Structure 1
Amino acid sequence: MTSTEWGRVGDDGTVYVKIADGERAVGQYPVGTPEEALKFYTDRYLALETEVSLLDQRVRSGVLGPDEAAESVKLVRAQVVDANAVGDLAALAARLDSLGPVLAQQRAARRAEKAQKSAEAKQQKEKLVAAAEKIAEGTDWRHGANRLRDLLEEWKALPRIDRASDDALWKRFSGARTAYTRHRKAHFAEQDVKRESARVIKERLAKEAEELAGSTEWGPTAGRYRDLMRDWKAAGPAPKDVDDALWARFRGAQDAFFGARDAANAALDAEFAANAEVKDQLIVEAEALLPVTDVEAAKRAFRDIADRWDAAGKVPRDRMKDLEARIRKVEQAIRGLEDEQWRKSDPEKSARAGDMVSKLEAAIAGVEADLERARAAGNEKQVKELEENLASRQAFLEMAKRAAQEFSG
C-alpha cells in the first residue's frame, strides 16, 4: 500500500482521502502506479486550493458583491466537501467558512452605504420637490417649463428610496408640474385672447392712419396721429407676424403724412426767408430808437415799424422766436418809459401831493406858534416835545415837496 499524509492507495488501486472520522474513497487509478494515482488526485486538490485562494481574494477585496460572493462560496464549498481529491479538504472548507464574517461585515457596510445613499437621495428629492413647487407658484412662463423638465431628469437619475417616502414626494413633485402646466396653459390662452383683441384694434388704427396719410390739415392731423400712437401702445401686442405687418402699414401711413408735412413746411420756410430778411432790417431800425429820449416820437416811429412788420408776413419757424423777442424788447422799452411818465404826471397823485404840502405847512405854522408860547412861558419840557414834533413835520414837508415837483415835472 502506498500512502501520504492525506491519502492512500489500496492494493486494488482504490484511492482514499483522510477525513475527520476516518477516510473515504475518492476513485480508482488502475492503469498506473500508486504514486501516479496519488499525484493525480493530489493535483485535483491543488486545483481546488487555487480556486479557493482566488475566491478568498475576490471576496475580501470586495470585487464580488456579498450576495454573489456568498453564492460562490456555497458552490465551491460543496465542491470541496465532496471533492474526489487528496489533500486537507477540511482546511479548505474552514477557509471558505472563514469568509462568513467577512461577508456579514460587507453586507452591513452595504446596508449602511445604501441607507446613506437613500438619505441623500431623499434629501435631493425633497430639494427637487421644493424647487418644483416654487416654480408652480410663480409666473415664469418662458423658463419654468424647461426648468421643470431638467428637474424631472434629475429625479430620474436618483435612486428610489423607501416606497412610502418616494411615493409621497413624487405625488408632490408631479402635482407641482401639473399645477404649473395648467396655469401656464391658462396664461397663454388669456394672452391669445388679448392678442386677438389687440389685432382687431390695431387693424382699425392702421386703417385710420392710412386714411389720414393724404390729409393737408397739418395741425389737427398731426394731433390725431399722436392719439393713434397712444392707442396703438395701449392696445398691447398682437400675434407677432400680424403685429409686424400692421405696424408696417401704420408706420408707412404716418411717415407719408409727416413727410408731406415736412416738405410743405420746407417750401413755406423757403418762401418766408425773404420776409425774415425784411424783419431783420425792421428790427435794426427799431433798436435804433433805444434808448428812448422822446417818448411820443419813439411811439410814432415804432407804430410805423409795426405796420411794416405786420405787412412783411410770416417768417420761417426757426426764426420766429428770435425775431419776436427782439421786436418785443423795443416795444416794452417804449411802453415802460411811457408808463413811468404817466405815473409821474398822474393828476390825481399830483393833487394829493399838493394837498399834503399845504396841510403840512399849516400844521408846521401851528406848531411854531405853540413853540413860541412855550418858550415865553419857560416850559422846557413842552419846548423839547414841540421842537421834536416840528423837526419831524419839516422832514415830511421836504419829502412831500419833492414828490409834488416830480408829479408836476
Structure 2
Amino acid sequence: MLHSASGRIGPHRVMTKDTKPVTPPLDGMLDLDEPEFEAPSVDEGPAPEWSGNELLQIDVKGKIWVRGGRFFDGRVVGKVGGEDGEAVIAMLADRFQALEDRWLLLEKDVSGIHNMVRHIKSLRSFIHWVEGAKAIGDFEALLEKASGELERIETQLATGRAAKEQLIDEAEKLADSNSWRSTADTEAELMERWKRAGAGGGDEDEILWQRFKTARSRFFDRRSEHGAEVRENRRTGQQAKEDLITQAEALNSSTDWGATFDAMQDLMEQWKRTPSAGRKTDDELWNRFRAAREPFFEARKKQFAENRRQQSRGARDQGRPRGRSQAPRDRGGSASPGARRSSNQGSLHASLAELVGPLRDMFPADRKKEEDD
C-alpha cells in the first residue's frame, strides 16, 4: 500500500473528471522522464477493467493507467512506488493541464490564421504530442476537440479545392471565345468567385491558381491580339478616308462636269470598300467627305438649271417648242392641244431627269455605315 499526508492510496486508486490535481511538494516531486515512469511494454500485463467515469487506475503493480476511448487508446503513463504516489499523480495531472493550456493557445492562434496548411500541421503535431504524453487527464475529450478542428479545416480545404476546380473548368471553356465584351465580364465574375472560394491548401493552391491563370491568359491574350488588329484596321481605314476626302476637295471646284462626276462616283465606291475607322470617327469623316463633294454637285445642279433656262428661252425665240421635230398644228396654224401636251410632258421629263441625276449622285442610297466590333 501507498501512504501520503492526504491519506491512503490503495492498489486501485481512481481519479475522475471532477478530481482536482494535487500540487506535490517540491521535495517529493519525481522526474517523470526517469525509467520507472516510462510506459511498460505490452507483455507486462493486461489493461484493467473500467467502470463509471474514472480517468485513471493504479493496478496492483503500481502502474498508472489512463482510460482510452474513440480517439485515444488507454495505456500506462507511469508507475508509483514507495511514499511518493500522490506527488507522482499530481505531477502527471499538472502535465495534462499544460496540454490543455497549450490547446487554448493553439485555438487562439489558429482562429485568425490565413495559412490553413500551417493550421493543419499545428493540429497534427499537437494530436501526436497528446497521444504520446505521459500525463493524467481526459485525453478523449481533448483529442476529440483537436481532431474535430482538424476535420473541419480539412473539409474546408477540400471544399475550396472543389470550388476552384469548377472555376478552372468554366475559365477553360471561355478561353477560345470571340465574344470579347461579354466574356471579359464573365471572366471578372470568375475572379471574384475565386477570391471567395477559400484556400485549397499550400502547394495545391499554387497548382490550381496556375491552371486558372493559364485559362484566363489565353482568352485575354487573344483579345489583346484582336484589339491590336482592330486598331490597325481602323488606323488604315481612317488614313484611306482622309485621302479620299483630300481628293474630293481637290475636285469640288471643277467645271468639267462629266469627267468630275465619274471621278466623284469612283471616290464613293472606294469609300464603301474602305475599312471602318470606328463609329464616331466614321461619322466625322463621312460628314467631311459629303461636305467636300457637295460644292461640285451644287455647282453642277445650278449649271444644268441655267442650261435648261437658256434652252427654253431659245425655243421660245424660235417660235417652236423644244424637241427634234415640228409639233403637229391644228387647222388654225397653232399646235394642237394633244401635241402641246406631249411636247410639255417631254420637256418636263427631261427636266426631272436632269434634276434627279445630280441629287442621286450627291446622296447615294446604298451608303453603308460600318459598325464597331
Scaled by the length of structure 2, the TM-score of the pair is: 0.45
Greater relative contact order structure (CA < 8 Å, 6+ sep): 2
More helix by share: 1
Scaled by the length of structure 1, the TM-score of the pair is: 0.42
Larger radius of gyration between Structure 1 and Structure 2: 1
